[in-house]
Amino acid sequence: MTRSISNWRRFFTKMKNSKSVILFGGRGLIGSCILELLTAAENIERVVSVDLKENEDDSFPSNHYVNGTHVEHQRIDVTNEEMLNEYFYKLKNDYANTHNTVINATYPRPSHWGKPINQISMLEFNNSFAAALGSFFLIARATGDYFVDRNIEGTHIGFSSIYGTMAPRFEVYEGTNMNMPVEYAGIKGAINQINRYFASYYKTKGITYNLISPGGVYNNQDPIFVENYEKYTGRVGMISGQDVAQAVLGLLNSSKAITGQNIIVDDGYSL
């Protein structure tokens, strides 16, 4: 059977608008949901899932297809500047493949993460910033360099948090062993500003930088915490990784006029 003219138009429109995505943190709580949604989307041609975690599922190789989308898995430590720079250097010289979207869903934390404010040392505080904020900066900078080098009007989507824009609600942790790390608020607030910096720096190149700021993502937390938290939400309560992934997909298909923005997904918790 031959394609009708309208079918050919739809085919070429899809090819023109297709995206090849590099997803950092593809094996994480949120990243795995993003990966699942990307492979179900019609306009995603290829996804490179980058994570430090080993492949826990031996049922598929490092390169395979899901719903017609080519999926490749890479193992990289995003806190290792040399390793990250080497990876992007290879991307620049890989002219057989062109990526127009980078999503950074990583959440690197040192072993001392989460100490109470009166117990954390300055060295531990600084190490937390170096891991989380430093890796965000490295990926954002390398992404911009790659897009400019390859003349791509690309998209960078990073992750912040509602606690990058609002004061902590310490009462939601009452009755639990959980706490709100002081480094977390500082790192996420800094990410918000660095994202605006990159968006402004690259706006004349057609490169966009945006953030998703999730509220509390349900991950089998203490039921007392969940009950306390959901006193401040609407009908959804704590959100899921799928809720966040849908926001990412929305940004991927949005206007190129949207840049430097922070999209909050929290069922009204921050209101």
Residues 183-236: pLDDT tens digits? 999 999 999 999 999 999 999 999 999 999 999 999 999 999 999 999 999 999
Is residue 179 included in any domain, yes or no? yes
Please check the confidence at residue 86 and state whether its pLDDT lies above 70. yes
pLDDT for the residue numbered 1: 42
Phi, psi of 72, rounded to the nearest 5 degrees: -125, 140
Is residue 9 included in any domain, yes or no? no
DSSP assignments along the chain, one per residue? -PPPHHHHHHHHHHHHH-EEEEEETTTSHHHHHHHHHHTTSTTEEEEEEEESS----TTS-SEEEETTEEEEEEE--TT-HHHHHHHHHHHHT-TT----EEEE------TTTT--TTT--HHHHHHHHHHHHHHHHHHHHHHHHHHHHTT---EEEEE--GGGTS---GGGGTTSS----HHHHHHHHHHHHHHHHHHHHHGGGT-EEEEEEE-PBPSS--HHHHHHHGGGS-SS-SB-HHHHHHHHHHHHTS-TT--S-EEEESTTTT-
Is residue 8 included in any domain, yes or no? no
Is residue 47 included in any domain, yes or no? yes
Round to the nearest angstrom and report the end-to-end CA distance of the chain: 55
Q: Which residue has the higher pLDDT, 60 or 133?
A: 133
Is residue 10 included in any domain, yes or no? no
Share of the chain above pLDDT 90, in %: 82
Q: Which domain holds residue 110?
A: 18-265
pLDDT for the residue numbered 11: 39
Chain segment 25-76, per-residue pLDDT in tens: 999 999 999 999 999 998 899 999 999 876 555 544 577 888 888 999 999 9
Please check the confidence at residue 7 and state whether its pLDDT lies above 50. no
How many domains is the chain built from? 1
Rounded to the nearest integer, the mean pLDDT of the chain is 90
pLDDT for the residue numbered 57: 55
pLDDT for the residue numbered 260: 97
Is residue 139 included in any domain, yes or no? yes
Is residue 1 included in any domain, yes or no? no
Q: How much is the average pLDDT of 173-191?
A: 96
Please check the confidence at residue 8 and state whether its pLDDT lies above 70. no
Q: How much is the average pLDDT of 84-110?
A: 93
Please check the confidence at residue 97 and state whether its pLDDT lies above 90. no
pLDDT for the residue numbered 63: 79
Strand ordering across the sheet containing 155-159: 63-66, 69-75, 44-51, 19-24, 101-104, 155-159, 208-214, 262-265
Is residue 6 included in any domain, yes or no? no
Read off the CATH number of the domain in which 42 is found.
Answer: 3.40.50.720
